[in-house]
Amino acid sequence: MGEGNGTTGRPGLVEARKRRGLSQEQAAEAIRVSPTTWGRWERGVQAVRAAHRTRMAVAFHEDPGEVARWIDGESALSPSADYWGGAVPLTVKAVQELWRSEVDPSRRHMLATLPFVPAAVSELLAAWNYDPAPDSPAGRGSTPQVGMTDVARISQAKRAFAQIDHQFGAGVVRPVVVRYLNGTVAPLLQGRYDDRVGAALMTAAADMTCLVGWMAFDIGQNGQAQRYFAQALRLSKAANDPIMAGWVLGVMAHQAVYLDRPVEALRLTSAAVNAAQKAQAPPRLMGRLAFSNRAFATALQVKFSETRDAYSVKAAERLLAEAEWAYEQGPTDREPAWLPPYDPSRTVSEAARTWHLLGQDQRAITCAEAALSAHKESQTRSAQLARVNAADAYLGAGELEQAISHARAAIPSARSLSSPRLNERIRGFAADLEPYGDTVLVREFRDHLRTQLAA
């Protein structure tokens, strides 16, 4: 694989370059190789190493599986090589290729090492807003008829997987969910179903694809997560389901905040709000998308601004108040069945982090302590993230002993949970202790953290 054929070359790679309007010299510059090397790749007389395949996927905003198809000598499939397409079969083909790539050992490593690409956010938002949706979500495959019972099973499986993720971390369950998508959901997408079943099936597939993206985010594979979110958004479009799309966009915004990308986070939250408003989303969902997420992103923007923008601070405060009001409205019969159960402890914990970013640490402490009191035993990871939020808030308020106490309490779970994101948050807290680095309390904490996480 990768050596090509000296006679036929790699027509897929040639077609992919030409579709993008690039000369060989321009393509070579984008991948950071010489034009001679690129020419040899196209002629099929030189192997393409994994590092160059990864660069190609990033530079062309393409899924690694499709890049592998170009390099291995197969013709690039013009419409399905892009994120978007008007026909359901193209959507199905694209998402299946992503799932298949991850269960293929020869492709899995490259997919896991892809970086987050900020520039791809604008492309995805433009595609969501302006590309046409399929005329019909119906499937006309040759496999047996798919019904609503099949869709219900996907939703039930997703809830079970999500619970395992909350309790034990994404690293434990994610490989199982990917195999479920590839082995169970993919054949259903290839089946026969009418418009009603098709729309529900696409939404269920989008929901689980978004979950797998979230799990990739939890284990630190942010480029991989971004690609799953992109395909979840595509499935949402195929289902003509703006509420699911709003949910996916909101999750993407959360990732952008975590990666300290305030511009992308605000763009994503705006798109999420627009999608949800068009569908007249119920109050609690609007509270999360329109208020909590946007407050979080606005607070991050405040943190990174050279001067403290009083208008943005007031905007974030207003958004948090509106979020609280929306959550108080309670459930309605318009809430979609796939929507995760409302978790007040999580929303209060996220409010704590928002207040901390705004520099209002006493309010952050109040929220963080309330979140810890409300967490359930089954929400292990969320509870420990809330502890780190509390530690950050106490540190911001200058209460060093309380801050270290909360962070120290999260370490045992950081050892047992398969969640690199939690470990990274604790290490980030330890780095913020630098102003107190000479104190005995901090030295002991850092030694303890190093010993425990190394073990």
The span from the CA of 433 to the CA of 280, in Å, is: 45
Can you give the pLDDT at residue 377? 64
Q: Which two tokens stand for residue 291?
A: 């208020």
Can you give the pLDDT at residue 3? 41
Of 344, 239, 241, residue with least CA distance to 284 = 344
Can you give the pLDDT at residue 72? 67
Can you give the pLDDT at residue 399? 96
Can you give the pLDDT at residue 82? 43
Can you give the pLDDT at residue 432? 95
Strand partners, 186: none
Query: What is the Cα Rg of the chain in Å?
Result: 23
Q: Does the global pTM surpass 0.95?
A: no
From first to last of its 455 residues, the chain has per-residue pLDDT tens of: 334 444 457 888 888 898 888 999 999 999 999 999 999 998 888 878 877 888 888 888 887 767 877 876 443 333 233 444 445 777 788 888 888 888 877 677 767 777 788 888 888 888 888 888 778 888 887 777 999 999 999 999 999 999 999 888 888 899 999 999 999 999 999 899 999 999 999 999 999 999 999 999 999 999 889 989 999 999 999 999 999 999 999 999 999 999 999 999 999 999 999 998 888 888 888 888 878 888 888 888 888 876 677 888 898 889 888 888 888 888 888 888 888 877 778 888 889 999 999 989 999 999 999 988 887 766 788 889 999 999 999 999 999 999 999 999 999 988 888 888 999 999 999 999 999 999 999 999 999 999 998 76
Can you give the pLDDT at residue 1? 38
Q: Which domains does the chain have, with CATH numbers?
A: 1-82 (1.10.260.40), 84-240 (no CATH)
